């Protein structure tokens, strides 16, 4: 028992250190957003002036709006395509070109972004030469690029969710008279719905956060939020960016806590119902 | 329960009746592995037919072939006279009750049961009526709005049963229906299943590895091993007249002796066994040549135990020493050492109450074993 | 899909509705192919094809034109196509020390960072698995939260910490430990911190997923058979977590090798990694053929780890 105590202490220490490592930079980010001084690390007193600067900047609002638009469209299509891909890979057995398909779906997960960005830009340029489209790079090209790598993430989530779902349910539905298409709609889809939601959120976040690929495939006049942030911070620290960061962190934190809370409550409710029903019988 | 000597109850004996389910030359290969090996089978309408065997014997594959989830590698499957070999499961008049129940977790009990009817395009009110009837039959009416995760194991099973019967299928397939239930629930459900089957007249095909279950439920049992049928017959036939050692050992237990046929008459056979030294006199004829090596099998409950030697008859008796005793309340099991090293298993009902709480026999007691000539089964394989 | 509505409706003589019916029928019949085809086609066009284009351009000559490379095929007078394949770009990369060093440097930095991530992330993942249910949820949320916030902003946060007038230096000066600020930003050290910081969740989550599935009773059995906790860990736990270690490591190593933002913002011009080099060749030098060649070489360097990752993922899904 002594050893367990020692080991737990080691684990706890490492975890605390790790969490501190993860969070201290973000906390400082937030703290300095309220710093009166323009030189970020130099403390000048509490102030919210940088939030005002942030809200008054049209540039920033445009970039945020563009990013949100791209992220939303991307999430929807990526979820659709990723779900189809996931279904095909798990439920359709072997089909022609399966290995190639499987490889193409896994590769974007690990591919360095500079390569994806470069290759897509070259594609768009070639397409423009051959067909005249896309004429101007911007919203459309960025969205297409994002969909391409987002769907890989969605596919992975859907695949793992499907793999955990026993075939029994789908067979039972067939046995009761449902054709395969019907089975997919009545049984498979509703049961992978949580996975699709998770995939949507993931695709949304990835898109919102992407810098490299957007930089490559974008064009004049289309600046996404990360592109804007990058162009500003590469020259030095900027407190209005701190303000923007704080807002993002707070929004995400609220979202995650909410999601965690809802899932926690759901689980507790299920456990209660399970206990109730076993007593009844 | 259903062993009346009436031809109506034994359609397989009636040459005029056509089988309801017919398999001809059916096999199923999974790559090099042969799960079902060229079987022929006939199941008659209204039967409660069990496929019995250990794991890997092919019974589940056979069931899935009947359901349509697998297509046979060779052979044909007929259901009610129609060739269903290549018909997909959603077009067969067959329904299945899954071992895991496979209840749709995102639908209520009501909707689970109604699902099959909706797929048939039946009118809403009709669906409501039939679902209500079914739920009443399985006594789950007050749970109709619940979801599967809010039900106990036994309740889930009844929903699965209701769901599979509501479409009034011609055949109901059941995959280890009682496996997940505890003993008491299992016994009750056994009788419920049989009642429902008699009431509705549906042909049941049950897969099980539990021989007691098979014996209680079935009109006939098919014993499977390595993808083939070892023996098909009524519970009595299988138990009292097994035609192989495999079958004899799978159902209940049997004491097996190896010997040679020394005498073969029109109304009797004598088999001599060397170890333990014993002569078996069987009181019916058997088409076998003298000198052939055979096995004789006797069920434990057919052997009589006595402290005193039986009347002077040379055959069908053994002398031994009690090696071990198991007291099970209503009966006792004895393991008796005979010959050099053979152990015979005997079960004896405890017919009388001992006066002082002592056992009828004790360890290391010298004991005489005897049995009727009709109790011996002769096996050639 | 045959609804109850459609059964019994009279066959319309209207051409439109029969076309619709035929389309619907075709859709039903071939729906599986459509399910596969749509994402497949998308990926072929927008993922695979671009690589071939990169390959093609890496073998072209640079030109002052838009786009800045010479076309591969050129029609000469009597209809004969002249194909210009230039391998000079690759030769150039090989000969110029800068590129070779940068590749090696990238792999080195990325490799070391992966190991650091593993050393920090493994105990953390283990701690989460062993935690009680409530703590487990909280800890997981805490690990996931940084993952969902902007990666760019988190790197930016470190700029604030590491700068000459940044938090760390200010703290050290305040405590009297040093008199002048230490150079932290725009050093390799900063890049290491940046990569570990960003990719740590990518290491923890696969490890956690792997460890979570392990049967706790295995540990108890080992203890029952007389193994000390350290022995149990080395002989039972550790080997079983190898798939998780591999998955997490690849998930860090492969993208980190091609990292751009971190060496740029935290390393300044001092830490050359291949991602930055590629970007510069492309945007600053407008030398697309070279940039493409750089990309191809990087792909070749990473193709083995990528295939390894695909293998481990494939196995996991099938189980």
The residue ranges of every structural domain in chain C are 15-83, 90-318
Residue C130: per-residue pLDDT = 84
Identify the closest residue of chain C to A241 by CA–CA distance.
C153
Distance from CA of B224 to the nearest CA of A (A): 24
Chain B stretch 84-143, residues whose beta carbon is closer than 8 A to a beta carbon of chain C: 121, 123
Tell how far CA C248 is from the center of its chain.
11
The distance of B62 to chain A (nearest Cα, Å) reads: 16
Cβ-defined contact of B120 to A190 (cutoff 8 Å): no
Strand partners, B379: B295
Q: Is A53 domain-assigned?
A: no
Q: How close is the nearest chain A Cα to the Cα of C18, in Å? A: 21
Better-predicted residue by pLDDT, B350 or A143: A143
CB B358 within 8 A of CB B325: no
The CATH superfamily label for domain C90-318 reads MetI-like (1.10.3720.10)
**At A208, is the pLDDT very low, low, confident or very high (cuts 50, 70, 90)?**
very high
In a domain, A124, yes or no: yes
Amino acid B9: pLDDT: 72
How many domains, in total, are found in chain A? 1
319 residues of chain C, pLDDT tens digit each: 444 333 434 444 455 677 887 877 777 667 778 788 889 999 989 999 998 888 888 877 666 555 666 565 554 444 444 455 667 777 777 778 888 889 899 999 999 999 999 999 998 998 888 888 788 888 888 888 888 888 888 898 898 888 887 888 888 888 888 888 888 888 999 999 999 999 998 999 889 988 888 877 887 888 888 888 788 888 888 888 898 899 899 999 998 998 999 999 898 878 889 888 888 888 887 778 888 888 888 888 888 888 888 777 766 544 3
- Minimum Cα–Cα distance from B122: chain C residue: C4
Residues B319-323: what's their mean pLDDT?
Answer: 88
- CA of A169, closest CA in chain B: separation in Å? 5
Most B CBs within 10 Å: which of A172, A185, A193, A278, as the mutation test of the B interface? A172
User: Is C103 touching A (CB cutoff 8 A)?
Assistant: no
Residue A45 lies in a domain: no
Interface of C with B in 4-43 (CB under 8 A): 4, 7
Over 90: is that where the pLDDT of A237 sits?
no
For the ranges A114-118, A249-253, B302-306, C61-65, which has the lowest average pLDDT? C61-65
pLDDT of residue C113: 96
A88 is written with which tokens? 């095909």
C279 lies within 8 A of chain A by CB: yes
Query: What residues form DSSP beta bridges with B319?
Result: B368
Count Cβ atoms below 10 Å from residue B354 Cβ, excluding itself: 9
**Residue B65 above 80 pLDDT?**
yes
- Spans of all domains in chain B: 7-248, 253-379
pLDDT at B40 over 60: yes
Out of A140-154, A173-187, B304-318, B320-334, pick the least confident. B304-318
- Mean pLDDT to the nearest integer, B220-230: 93
- Closest of C247, C173, C168, C147 to residue C207, by C-alpha: C247
Residue B330 has pLDDT above 70, yes or no: yes
Question: Would you call A172 and B152 a contact, using CB atoms and an 8 Å cutoff?
Answer: no
User: Residue C105 in contact with residue C258, Cβ under 8 Å?
Assistant: no
Neighbours of C248 (CB within 10 A): 29
Number of neighbours of residue B78 by Cβ within 10 angstroms:
17
Give the per-residue pLDDT at A221: 87
Contact C258, A108 (CB under 8 A): no
Choose the mutation target among C1, C3, C4, C5 for the interface with B, i.e. most B CBs under 10 Å. C4
What's the confidence (pLDDT) of residue A81? 94
* The pairing of beta strand B74-79 with beta strand B82-83: antiparallel
- Looking at the predicted complex, does its ipTM rise above 0.90? no
Q: Which of A4, A21, A237 sits opposite C163 (nearest CB)?
A: A237
In this predicted structure, what is the pLDDT of residue C14?
54
Q: How far is A210 from chain C (nearest CA, A)?
A: 8
Q: Which of A35-39, A86-90, B161-165, C214-218 has the highest mean pLDDT?
A: B161-165
Name the average pLDDT for chain B.
Answer: 88
- Which tokens go with B69? 């989830």
Cα of C29 to nearest chain B Cα, Å: 14
Q: What is the reported pLDDT for A78?
A: 96
B100-109 tens-digit pLDDT? 999 999 999 9
Residue-number span of the structural domain to which A135 is assigned: 62-240
Say what the pLDDT of residue B252 is: 84
Among C3, C35, C39, which would you mutate to test the A interface (most chain A Cβ atoms within 10 Å of its Cβ)?
A: C39
For residue B67, what is the enclosing H or E element?
helix B59-67
- Within 10 angstroms of residue B16's Cβ, the number of other Cβ atoms is 6
- Is the distance from CB of A227 to CB of A214 less than 8 angstroms? yes
Q: Is the pLDDT of residue A131 over 70?
A: yes
CB contact under 8 A, C54 and A122: yes
Architecture (CATH level 2) of domain B7-248? 3-Layer(aba) Sandwich (3.40)
Q: What pLDDT score does C56 carry?
A: 82
**What pLDDT is stored for residue C316 in this prediction?**
54
Residue C8, classified by CB atoms within 10 Å of its CB into exposed (0-12), middle (13-18) or buried (19+), is exposed
Interface test with C, best of A109, A114, A129, A205 (most C CBs within 10 A): A114
Window 239-268 of C, Cβ < 8 Å to A: 250-251, 254-255, 257-261, 264-265
pLDDT at residue B185, rounded to an integer: 81
> Please, which residues bridge with residue B270 across strands?
B263, B281
Interface of B with A in 40-69 (CB under 8 A): 67-69
Q: B334: Cβ–Cβ under 8 A, 6 or more apart, which residues?
A: B305, B322, B324, B325, B326, B345, B346, B347, B348, B361, B367
The CATH code of the domain at B253-379 is 2.40.50.140
pTM of the predicted model, to two decimals? 0.81
Structure tokens at B155: 């309740």
Q: Is the pLDDT of residue B232 over 90?
A: yes
Chain C residues touching residue B123 (CB < 8 angstroms): 4
Q: B177-204 burial string, b = 16+ CB within 10 Å, else e?
A: bbeebeeebbeebbebbbebbeeeebbb
What is the domain-level CATH number for residue A118? 1.10.3720.10
Does some domain include residue A261? no
Q: CB A277 to CB B115 under 8 A?
A: no
- C212 to chain A, closest Cα gap in Å: 15
The strand pairing partners of B94, in sequence order, are: B171
**pLDDT surpasses 80 at A138:** yes
């Amino acid at each position: 028992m002594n050893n367990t105590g020692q080991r737990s202490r080691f684990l706890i220490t490492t975890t605390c250190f790790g969490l501190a490592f993860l969070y201290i930079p973000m906390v400082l980010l937030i703290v300095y957003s309220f710093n009166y001084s323009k030189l970020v690390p130099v403390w000048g007193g509490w102030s919210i002036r940088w939030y005002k600067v942030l809200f008054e900047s049209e540039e920033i609002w445009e970039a945020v709006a563009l990013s949100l638009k791209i992220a939303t469209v991307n999430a929807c299509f990526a979820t659709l395509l990723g779900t189809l891909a996931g279904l095909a890979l798990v439920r359709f057995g072997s089909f022609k070109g399966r290995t190639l398909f499987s490889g193409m779906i896994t590769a974007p997960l690990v591919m360095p972004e500079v390569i994806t960005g470069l290759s897509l830009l070259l594609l768009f340029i070639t397409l423009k030469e051959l067909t005249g489209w896309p004429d101007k790079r911007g919203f459309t090209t960025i969205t297409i690029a994002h969909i391409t790598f987002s769907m890989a993430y969605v596919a992975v989530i859907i695949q793992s969710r499907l793999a955990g779902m026993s075939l029994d349910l789908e067979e039972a539905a067939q046995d009761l008279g449902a054709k395969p298409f019907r089975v997919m709609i009545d049984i498979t889809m509703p049961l992978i719905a949580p996975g699709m939601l998770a995939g949507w959120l993931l695709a949304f976040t990835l898109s919102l956060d992407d810098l490299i690929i957007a930089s490559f495939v974008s064009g004049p006049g289309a600046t996404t939020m990360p592109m804007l942030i990058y162009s500003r911070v590469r020259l030095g620290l900027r407190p209005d960016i701190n303000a923007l960061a704080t807002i993002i962190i707070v929004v995400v934190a609220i979202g995650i806590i909410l999601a965690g809370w809802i899932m926690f409550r759901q689980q507790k409710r299920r456990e209660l119902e399970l206990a109730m029903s076993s007593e009844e019988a | 329960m259903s062993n009346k000597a009436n031809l109506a109850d034994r359609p397989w004996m009636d040459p005029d009746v056509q089988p309801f389910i017919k398999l001809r030359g059916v096999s199923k290969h999974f790559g090099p592995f042969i799960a079902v090996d060229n079987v022929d089978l006939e199941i008659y309408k209204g039967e409660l037919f069990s496929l019995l065997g250990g794991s890997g014997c092919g019974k589940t594959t056979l069931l899935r072939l009947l359901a349509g989830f697998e297509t046979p590698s060779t052979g044909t499957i007929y259901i009610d006279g129609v060739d269903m070999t290549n018909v997909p499961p959603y077009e067969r008049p067959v329904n299945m009750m899954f071992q895991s129940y496979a209840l749709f977790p995102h639908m209520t009990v009501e909707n689970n049961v109604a699902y099959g009817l909706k797929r048939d395009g039946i009118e809403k009110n009709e669906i409501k009526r039939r679902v209500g009837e079914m739920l009443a039959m399985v006594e789950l009416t007050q749970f109709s709005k619940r979801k599967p995760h809010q039900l106990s194991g036994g309740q889930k099973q009844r929903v699965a049963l209701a769901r599979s019967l509501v479409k009034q299928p011609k055949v109901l397939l059941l995959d280890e229906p009682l496996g997940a239930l505890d003993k008491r629930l299992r016994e009750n459900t056994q009788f419920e299943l049989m009642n429902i089957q008699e009431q509705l007249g549906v042909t049941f095909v049950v897969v099980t590895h539990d021989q007691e279950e098979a014996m209680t439920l079935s009109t006939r049992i098919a014993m499977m091993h390595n993808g083939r049928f070892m023996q098909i017959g009524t519970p009595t036939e299988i138990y009292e007249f097994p035609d192989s050692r495999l079958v004899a050992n799978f159902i209940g237990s049997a004491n097996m002796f190896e010997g040679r046929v020394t005498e073969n008459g029109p109304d009797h056979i004598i088999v001599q066994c060397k170890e333990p030294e014993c002569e078996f006199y069987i009181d019916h004829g058997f088409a076998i040549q003298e000198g052939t090596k055979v096995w004789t099998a006797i069920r434990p409950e057919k052997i009589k135990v006595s402290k005193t030697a039986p009347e002077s008859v040379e055959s069908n008796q053994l002398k031994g020493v009690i090696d071990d005793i198991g007291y099970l309340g209503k009966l006792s099991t004895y393991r008796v050492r005979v010959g050099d090293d053979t152990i015979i298993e005997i079960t004896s009902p405890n017919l009388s109450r001992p006066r002082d709480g002592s056992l009828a026999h004790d360890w290391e007691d010298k004991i005489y074993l005897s049995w009727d000539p009709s109790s011996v089964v002769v096996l050639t394989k | 899909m045959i609804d109850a509505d459609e059964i019994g409706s009279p066959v319309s003589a209207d051409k439109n509705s029969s076309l619709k019916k035929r389309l619907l029928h075709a859709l039903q019949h071939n729906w599986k192919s459509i399910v596969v085809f749509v994402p497949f086609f998308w990926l072929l066009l927008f993922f695979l094809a671009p690589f071939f284009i990169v390959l093609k351009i890496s073998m072209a000559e640079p030109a002052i034109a838009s786009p800045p490379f010479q076309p591969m095929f050129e029609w000469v007078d009597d209809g004969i196509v002249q194909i210009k394949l230039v391998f000079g770009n690759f030769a150039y990369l090989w000969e110029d020390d800068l590129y070779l060093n940068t590749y090696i440097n990238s792999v080195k930095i990325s490799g070391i960072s992966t190991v650091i991530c593993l050393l920090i992330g493994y105990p953390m993942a283990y701690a989460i698995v062993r935690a009680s249910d409530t703590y487990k949820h909280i800890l997981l949320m805490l690990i996931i939260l940084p993952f969902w916030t902007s990666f760019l902003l988190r790197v930016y946060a470190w700029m604030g910490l590491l700068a000459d007038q940044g938090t760390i230096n200010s703290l050290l000066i305040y405590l009297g430990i040093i008199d002048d600020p230490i150079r932290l930003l725009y050093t390799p050290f900063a890049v290491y911190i940046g990569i570990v910081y960003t990719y740590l969740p990518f290491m923890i989550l696969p490890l956690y997923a792997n460890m979570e599935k392990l049967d706790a009773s295995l540990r108890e059995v080992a203890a029952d058979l007389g193994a000390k906790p350290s022995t149990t860990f080395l002989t039972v736990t550790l080997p079983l977590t190898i798939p998780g270690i591999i998955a997490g490591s690849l998930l860090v190593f492969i993208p980190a090798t091609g990292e751009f933002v971190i060496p740029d913002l935290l390393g300044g011009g001092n830490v050359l990694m291949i991602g930055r080099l590629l970007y510069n060749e492309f945007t600053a030098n407008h030398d697309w053929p070279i940039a493409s060649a750089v990309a191809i070489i990087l792909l070749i360097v990473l193709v083995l780890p990528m295939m390894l990752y695909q293998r481990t993922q494939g196995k996991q899904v099938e189980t």
